[in-house]
Structures are given as structure tokens and as C-alpha cells.
Amino acid sequence: MDTPKVSIHDLKLWYGESEALHGINVAFSEKKVTALIGPSGCGKSTLLRCLNRMNDRIPECHIEGKVLLDGDDIYAPEVDVVQLRTHIGMVFQKPNPFPKSIYENVAYAPRIHGLAKNGPDMDELVETALRKASIWKEVKDKLQSPGTALSGGQQQRLCIARTIAVKPNVILMDEPCSALDPIATAKIEELMDELKQEFTIIMVTHSMQQAARISDHTAFFYMGNLIEFGETGTIFTQPEKQQTEDYITGRFG
């Protein structure tokens, strides 16, 4: 197993009285794509949102256990959550560009965090992020147009550019292709393969084919438990647990 970038130790989560995650232990490798799979409501997205403390926004949510980024506990009292989210970026299911220009969508967060000054430095940062998100050629002549005027697939790549503009270590993706057509999906998948040269990617997907195509490791969740975790090829061809095999072969789910 490679160096873990993110490791989770005995993570439990409750919404009010209801326990949604039951003592999860797993480590995510650096510069790899890990897919979280399992039926709806099994805890995949809940776990993903624990990794950048998005669940903090839910009043009745209570968490125990540890989530370590490069060995540091992200739930430690001294952690600045805003700062944390620059290290662990997130791309949502539905593309959600800001109601601003394409340029401003990418420049907004780096400006707030003081990563680049306005002018040539910012221009370069915006171009680099858009290039890395494989959308520069499509938008370079209309950077002042609204991001919301792009197609769904382009908007999602713009959101990826916005995420990588602050140079995170980890990118979380919550079903990033579920609102997209097959061509746009293929572009995002190709892009993820390029991005893992530089970033650790943890993705929730409902598509087994997608997990099989693009992830290095796969974690199978069921009813708030991590049933099995391993290399994607092994999970899909020789799973150790009967439950995993039943889910992957479509016997339930």
C-alpha cells in the first residue's frame, strides 16, 4: 500500500439518534483515485463530507473518531475549517458555478486566500487551472462571459478548475458525472486520470462501470459499514466478501 494521504480511524457519525457510519477504518493513497461504491443511503456521501467537514453545517450531526490528512487530525480544535477546505477541495454532483464570469469563478478563491495578486499573476493562475481542467481551449476567448452560460459538462470542468485553483492536496468528488451525458462524462473521466498525477482523488459514484474504469482502489459500503476495500481490479474480479460480489454482480442494490 502506498503512503496514505488521508486515513480514517474508527469514524462514527450520528444524525441525531441515528448512527449513519459505524466505526470506519480506511486509508486513501496519495495521487490515486479511490471510488466509494454501494447502494443509496449506505454512507458514501456522508463519509466524503466528513473529509472536508461539510457535515459541520448539519446541526444534529455528531462525529467520533479521527480523520488524518498527512497525519494531522482535521477535527482538532485548532483547525481552521476555511483553510482546511483549501487543502481538501470538493466537486459536487450538480455543477454549481458562481453567478460570475468564467475568469472570476476561478480567480475568486485564490484572491481571497492571497495566492495571487490581480494582474499577470492571477491571469497565469486562472489559465493554468483552466488548462489542468481541460477547458482552456473552449473558454479562452470568452473569459468574461458568465460561467452559468456554459454547457453542463463545461460547467463541471469549470468547477474542477475552481477547485484546483487553490492548489488542494485532495479533491473530493460526489458523483461528479451523474448530471452529465456520456460524452461529457468521458471528458471528466479522462480529466480525472490526468489530475491524479498531481492530486489525491476520492470519488463517490453510483456507476460500477465508472469505478472499474477510472479508480485505483474501491471501497464498498453497505448500511453505514465499510464492507470491503482494496485494489479496484481485485474488488471487481475476486472480492473477498459475498456481499461485495452480490452488489457488483447486481444481485442486490
| CATH code (residue 73) | 3.40.50.300
pLDDT band at 128; cut points 50, 70, 90? very high
Percentage of the chain lying above the pLDDT 90 cut: 94
Check residue 1 and give its pLDDT.
55
Backbone φ, ψ for residue 251 (5° rounding): -75, -25
pLDDT band at 251; cut points 50, 70, 90? confident
Is the pTM value of this prediction over 0.75?
yes
Answer whether residue 124 is part of any domain: no
Helix (H, G, I), strand (E, B) or coil at 141: coil
**pLDDT at residue 18 above 80?**
yes
CB 91 within 8 A of CB 156: yes
Answer whether residue 55 is part of any domain: yes
CB 40 within 8 A of CB 194: no
Answer whether residue 105 is part of any domain: no
Answer whether residue 32 is part of any domain: yes
Domain residues for the domain of 207 are 4-91+167-248
Query: What's the domain count of the chain?
Result: 1
**pLDDT at residue 186 above 80?**
yes
pLDDT digit string, tens, across residues 57-95? 999 999 999 999 999 999 999 999 999 999 999 999 999
Answer whether residue 225 is part of any domain: yes
